[in-house]
Chain A
Amino acid sequence: MVAMATVATHEGSSLPLTLGDGRGGIRERSPRRAEGAGRTRVAGAAPGTVPTVIRLERVTKMYKTSTRPALDRVSVSVDKGEFVFLIGPSGSGKSTFLRLLLREDVPTRGRITVADLDVAKLPRRRVPRLRQRIGVVFQDFRLLPNRTVGGNVAFALEVIGKPQATIARVVPEVLELVGLEGKADRMPHELSGGEQQRVAIARAFVNRPLVLLADEPTGNLDPDTSQDIMLLLERINRTGTTVVMATHDHSIVDSMRRRVVELDLGQVVRDESRGVYGVGR
């Protein structure tokens, strides 16, 4: 598998970066992805000048009810502006991965940093600060049914105490960005699935997070709509926002050719830039 990964990433002049995932997996960074990362990136910048946004160091997560760890010595680091697919079968640890980043759970062992925050050691009262830097999108949208589109997006700002003036200015901007201009006053149930997911993305992005986590955001959508959502996520990624997306969708992963981190039984079995969903597929 390691050999395959190397093959898959051997195009263009690359800067090899070894990742201590405990299994000898190799990840290489290609210049193409560096360009995609947007304005903060200086072309040809040496590794290390780009700040690492997410870093997991030998992270193990055991759940009390299971003997097998949900994550097993996982080491991954994600730079600012990267777009990462997190793939793997159900139960491989993708959700746990995302939950740990959000501090919904704490790792049994290992260290997680998001931006400059030591996630596991973060005191309870500072968890909101972490979450304000992370936007999250889910398969089931999780919109508030009794609020308008604009209300849903505004909610995210209201509850972190943003002033009304800022909300009034920012919400239309972000609705335009996600292609929902003019629909601010509609109710979620009046929208198609794709539009609802756009609302969810707008809500996740409205506070300009450092990282956008997407947990199977296209899971409920047809292929065409999924493609539109992917274009939107790419656009958001180009603003410098790091995107980590857990997915099962082969065609999306294959067509995007972005970094792929594959989990299986809680371990990183593949980590390659410009990967595809299944090796040899």
Chain B
Amino acid sequence: MRSDFVRREVATGLRRNVTMTVAMVLTTAISLALLGTGMLAVRTIDSTESLYADRLEIQVALTQDVSAADQDCSQPICSGLKKTLENSPLVESVTFESQQEAYTRFQQLFAGQSIADVARPQSLPATLRVKLADQQTGADAVRQAMNGQVGVRTIIDQRDVVGKLFDFLGGVRNVTFALALVQAVAALLLISNTVQVSAYTRRVEVGVMRLVGATRWYTQLPFLIEAVLTGVVGAVLAGVGLVVAKFAFIDDLLAGIAQNGVIPPITIYDVLETSIWLLPIGAAIAGVTGYVTLRLYVKV
């Protein structure tokens, strides 16, 4: 294989229909950028899940009278509930938060907001905070054991709250993947079309090559390299786009929640690692599209 020959052919091919090449690169880039965004969303969901996995608790809120009467869980109703929970193998630990402690935490949480001034210790329930040993089945077991028991007002599973966050992130992921898919179809068709146009503009060359007995590699490789090159350039552009987007939008957007530790921040490493994946994906998709096009539509 003479590399200078192939290089020359590729350069000519790309130059000859430069507008198509640009369109192809941009479409590929947008598609891959969306794919990258989706991948970042998946990544965030994963790391958020692991971030919360050991923090999530079940809160068993006690009724008003028990909360008011028992400040240290020493009385029979509260201690009975606590004992029941602690005896379960699915439970790792149980801590008691009294009305007063809940009030202190509430004040910290909503410091400076008007709701903090309105709240009184009596209006907050005392809770048994249950850390689960078994994340899978523990929650349901606690719920079953506590539901309807004397002294229990409500059972709050923090995962229900976090679940909403996951739903949001999952939504972001699904939307970007859907858009990426639509763009990918457009990119594929463009690549396919460009390969056909490219082959058509070089039909004399290709015809001569076939007649003098050039192997398929010689006749097809320039077209394939063109396609793959487009995919790679598109992927690089997509990567650059993601980095720019991270600093321009994502950081601002997530600044609030990421700083509070609600979700882990998206770092530049996350973006770069994702972008690196886009390279082989772009190259492979473009290459396969080019190859299939050559096999189906172009007699090379």
Chain A residues with CB under 8 Å of chain B are: 102, 124-125, 127-136, 142, 144-145, 155-156, 158-161, 164, 203-204, 207
Cβ contact of A128, chosen from B204, B207, B208, B214, cutoff 8 A: B214
Number of A-B contacts (CB under 8 A): 57
Measured between C-beta atoms, what is the minimum distance from B201 to chain A in Å?
A: 11
* CB atoms of B214 and A160 under 8 A apart: yes
Kindly identify which residue among A132, A155, A203 contacts B213, using a CB–CB cutoff of 8 Å.
A132
Tell me the nearest residue of chain B to A157, going by C-beta.
B212
Q: Nearest Cβ in chain A — how far from B279, in angstroms?
A: 30
Cα A134 to Cα B213 with chains together (Å):
8
A129:B213 contact, CB within 8 angstroms? yes
- What interface size band does chain B fall in? 10 to 19
Which residues of A have CB within 8 Å of B219?
A: 159
Q: Are A158 and B208 in contact (CB under 8 A)?
A: no
Q: Given A161-B1, A161-B2, A161-B218, A156–B212 Cβ distance below 8 Å?
A: yes
Q: 8 closest Cβ contacts across the A-B interface?
A: A132-B213, A131-B213, A159-B214, A128-B213, A156-B212, A159-B209, A128-B215, A159-B218
Q: Which A-chain residue is minimally distant from B211 (CB atoms)? A: A136
Say yes or no: A132 contacts B204, CB within 8 Å: no
Answer whether A130 and B213 are a contact pair too, CB < 8 Å, given A142-B208, A156-B208, A160-B218. Answer: yes
Chain A CB within 10 A, most for which of B208, B212, B218: B212
Residues of B whose CB lies within 8 Å of any CB of A are: 1-2, 5, 204-205, 207-216, 218-219
B134 CB to closest chain A CB, in angstroms? 59
CA distance A188 to B278 in the complex (A): 45
Compute how far the CA of A32 lies from the CA of B2 in the bound complex, rounded to whole angstroms.
45
Least CB separation from A145: chain B residue: B204
Can you list 16 A-B contacts (CB < 8 A)?
Answer: A128-B214, A128-B216, A131-B212, A131-B213, A144-B205, A145-B204, A155-B205, A159-B212, A159-B219, A160-B214, A160-B218, A161-B215, A164-B2, A203-B208, A203-B212, A207-B212
Set of chain A residues within 8 Å of B210, measured between Cβ atoms: 131
In the complex, A161→B216 CA distance in Å? 12
Cα-based distance from A67 to B209 in the complex (angstroms): 33
Q: Which residues of chain B are within 8 angstroms of A136 by Cβ–Cβ distance?
A: 211
Q: Which residues of chain A are within 8 angstroms of B213 by Cβ–Cβ distance?
A: 127-134, 160, 207
A105 CB to nearest chain B CB (Å): 11
Min C-beta distance of A236 to chain B, whole Å? 16
Could you tell me if B2 and A144 are in contact, using CB atoms closer than 8 angstroms? Answer: no
CB distance from A75 to the nearest CB of B (A): 26
**Also in contact, A142 and B207, with CB within 8 A (given A158-B2, A159-B5, A161-B218):** yes
Shortest Cβ distance from residue B204 to the other chain A in the assembled complex, whole angstroms: 6
Please name the residue on chain B nearest to A102 by beta carbon: B211
Residues in B with CB closer than 8 Å to A164 are 2
Q: Which residues of B sit under 8 angstroms from A133, Cβ to Cβ? A: 213
Contacts of A132 in B (CB 8 A): 212-213
Residues of A within 8 A of B5 (CB): 158-159
| Distance of A136 Cα from B209 Cα, bound (Å) | 11
